[in-house]
Structure 1
Amino acid sequence: MSPPEEPPRRGEQAEVAAFRQALGLDALIDVHTHFMPERVMAKVWAYFDAAGPLVGRAWPIAYREEERRRVETLRGFGVRAFTSMLYPHKPGMARWLNDWAADFAARTPDCLHTATFFAEPSAPDDVRRALAQGARVFKCHLQVGGYDPNDPLLDDVWGLLADTGVPVVTHCGSGPVPGPFTGPAPVAALLARHPRLRLVVAHLGMPEYEDFLGLAERHERVLLDTTMAFTDFSESAAPFPPAALPRLSALADRVLLGTDFPNIPYPYAHALHALESTGLGAAWLRAVCHDNAARLFALPALP
């Protein structure tokens, strides 16, 4: 008989628990984690392994584990709610990805039911269907998808999402390399047409941090997530400007914890300590790591 399986990453659990306890937090909420169909995740990992054009550098996957163990790892870190960020890179993918995500959310109650879309004629129907299935957050990846957020095919999509207030986590910054529709200008044009969109700018808009801070300052429903920001890995290529920290502090109620788990090249705890290194203080960290997302998704208070 084989020995019982050890709890996943016990040392890391203790480190993350110490971080939470120092802030008086019983749990974390991570709005930028990836769960996908197995064959899709395998292709994503292979792309990272090959340092593909949208990666451009060695990027070892820290949590290359089967799905069940990845869920256990997040729970072991005290993450009470997380997402299953997934995204199509061509037409015809979004609906079956959304069906998979609906099933994943049904069997993973601590997952915030996630959906996606692509710039294609079926997009409005795909989004309506996902909303009817119970989607609570969408992922839009302008870099991988290579589409213009202002494509007329998406007009009804943005209208639906603005009307429902469902958040859309959007990779729109030009990191790690620019795409044809990344950067602040396409998003500024989108928000001019749909100012009620609850857009979550992934990666704090890396590397155009200050431009995306400006969009959040001008649009009260725009939020930002911290995915990979301030980590050694990101700071070496796209450092956050220290002079902009007061602006990030002033947006304390609209910044959300994101990590890119499991596709990160460092331990989960490093992402948390990187946020701590900003010096923005315990109240800011509590809001970012739990309270803002709990309010956004109307999660019940912890007992």
Structure 2
Amino acid sequence: MSARWSGVTALSESSESDDVRMFWQRLGLPGLVDVHTHFMPEQVLRKVWAYFDAVGPLTGMEWPITYRHEEEERVALLREFGVRSFTSMLYPHKAGMAAWLNGWAADFAERTPGCLHTATLFPEEGVERYVREAVERGARVFKAHRQVGAYDPNDALLDPVWGLLAEAGIPVVTHCGSGPVPGKHTGPEPVGRLLARHPRLRLVVAHMGMPEYTDFLDLAERYREVRLDTTMAFTDFSERLSPFPAGERARLAALGDRVLLGTDFPNIPYPYVHQLRALERLDLGDDWLRAVCHDNGAALFGLT
């Protein structure tokens, strides 16, 4: 039987907005840059939420969606938090979806100030064409979800795509770690083979690569363009499932220029502010927090 998550006290959204703003204002920042937030067509998002509603038996803990709101309310809430820039991470679970999702995401970015135009991909015939179209339309970040898509990033169909994105310098946020449950192609080994062929690919490892934190820190040290996002890492929820090794904090500090704030908003089982407090309690210093929560993302995406 799964345990109910109760590690973080729920906050009213008005008081939470104040707490989030106090966090970045104390650091002297103009706001936050969150590279891992989810916006997608409503029918797709409802299916994602249904998955998390049923994920308890896999994780051993229930996964309530804290921000189960309509789209406009979710966008407004990020603005109230002071999130200057965010993404619309979306992903296909089968062939034939990615081009349609990219069209939706492009429209969403055009009508949503602050959203970094996001796109996605899948190993299928035509992938190079629609990825190129997305790039030409102004995509600034891609999402590759190896766990959900159950594909090898070294699939021959994707090779020209990785080359195209590396040449364009467009970051790719990829869920490649084996958490919360392993997939057929998760883990560091496939990523290592990919980077050996495309060392200039700006790969952003989602969730710090949990639970294979050490292996993905190794890759970040080996490849200058590899970055890691903090999504759900270090929180009480994830520490219970996949604790970050205390002995790796020095390496985390040393890679402070390549760690990016990510949260998984709205699909998180705790308040947004808890992710920020989890980073703060690492005790890596205010300079590290400023870089992670704003400056690194602003530099990566050329934000002013």
Q: TM-score, normalised by structure 2?
A: 0.95
1:187-235 Cα shifts (integer Å, max 9, x gaps)? 0000001111000000000000000000000000100000000000000
Mapping of 1:208-287 within 5 angstroms?
A: 208-287=212-291
* CA distance in structure 1 between the aligned counterparts of 2:203 and 2:25, rounded to whole angstroms: 30
Say whether the 8 Å CA contact 2:90–2:101 is kept in structure 1: yes
Say whether the 8 Å CA contact 1:101–1:113 is kept in structure 2: yes
Shift of 1:129: 1.0
Shift of 1:172: 0.3
* CA distance in structure 2 between the aligned counterparts of 1:268 and 1:9, rounded to whole angstroms: 10
Say whether the 8 Å CA contact 1:48–1:55 is kept in structure 2: no
After TM superposition, what 4+ stretches of structure 1 lie above 3 angstroms from structure 2? 52-57
1:112-161 Cα shifts (integer Å, max 9, x gaps)? 00000001111111100111111000000000000000000101110101
**What residue identity is the alignment partner of 1:169?**
V
Mapping of 1:110-259 within 5 angstroms?
A: 110-259=114-263
* CA distance in structure 1 between the aligned counterparts of 2:185 and 2:232, rounded to whole angstroms: 21
- The answer to whether 1:34 aligns with 2:38 is yes
Shift of 1:57: 3.6
Which residue of structure 2 lines up, in the alignment, with residue 5 of structure 1?
none
* CA distance in structure 2 between the aligned counterparts of 1:261 and 1:178, rounded to whole angstroms: 22
**What residue identity is the alignment partner of 2:167?**
D
Shift of 1:54: 6.5
* CA distance in structure 1 between the aligned counterparts of 2:136 and 2:57, rounded to whole angstroms: 36
Q: CA RMSD in A?
A: 1.1
* CA distance in structure 1 between the aligned counterparts of 2:280 and 2:86, rounded to whole angstroms: 20
**What residue identity is the alignment partner of 1:72?**
A
Say whether the 8 Å CA contact 1:114–1:135 is kept in structure 2: yes
Shift of 1:56: 5.9
Shift of 1:21: 1.8
**Which among 51, 55, 60 is matched to residue 55 of structure 2?**
51
**What residue identity is the alignment partner of 1:114?**
T
* CA distance in structure 2 between the aligned counterparts of 1:35 and 1:52, rounded to whole angstroms: 23
**Which among 15, 25, 29 is matched to residue 25 of structure 1?**
29
* CA distance in structure 2 between the aligned counterparts of 1:283 and 1:211, rounded to whole angstroms: 25
Shift of 1:179: 0.5
Say whether the 8 Å CA contact 1:173–1:183 is kept in structure 2: yes
* CA distance in structure 2 between the aligned counterparts of 1:184 and 1:220, rounded to whole angstroms: 16
Which residue of structure 2 lines up, in the alignment, with residue 66 of structure 1?
70
Shift of 1:52: 7.0
Say whether the 8 Å CA contact 1:56–1:176 is kept in structure 2: no
- The answer to whether 1:107 aligns with 2:101 is no
Q: Which runs of 5+ in 2 are unaligned?
A: 1-11
* CA distance in structure 1 between the aligned counterparts of 2:87 and 2:217, rounded to whole angstroms: 23
> Percent identity among equivalent residues?
70
Shift of 1:53: 7.3
Q: Which runs of 5+ in 1 are unaligned?
A: 1-7
Q: Secondary structure at the residue paired with 1:34?
A: coil
Say whether the 8 Å CA contact 1:184–1:212 is kept in structure 2: yes
**What residue identity is the alignment partner of 2:195?**
L
* CA distance in structure 2 between the aligned counterparts of 1:107 and 1:35, rounded to whole angstroms: 13
Shift of 1:22: 1.7
* CA distance in structure 2 between the aligned counterparts of 1:17 and 1:151, rounded to whole angstroms: 43
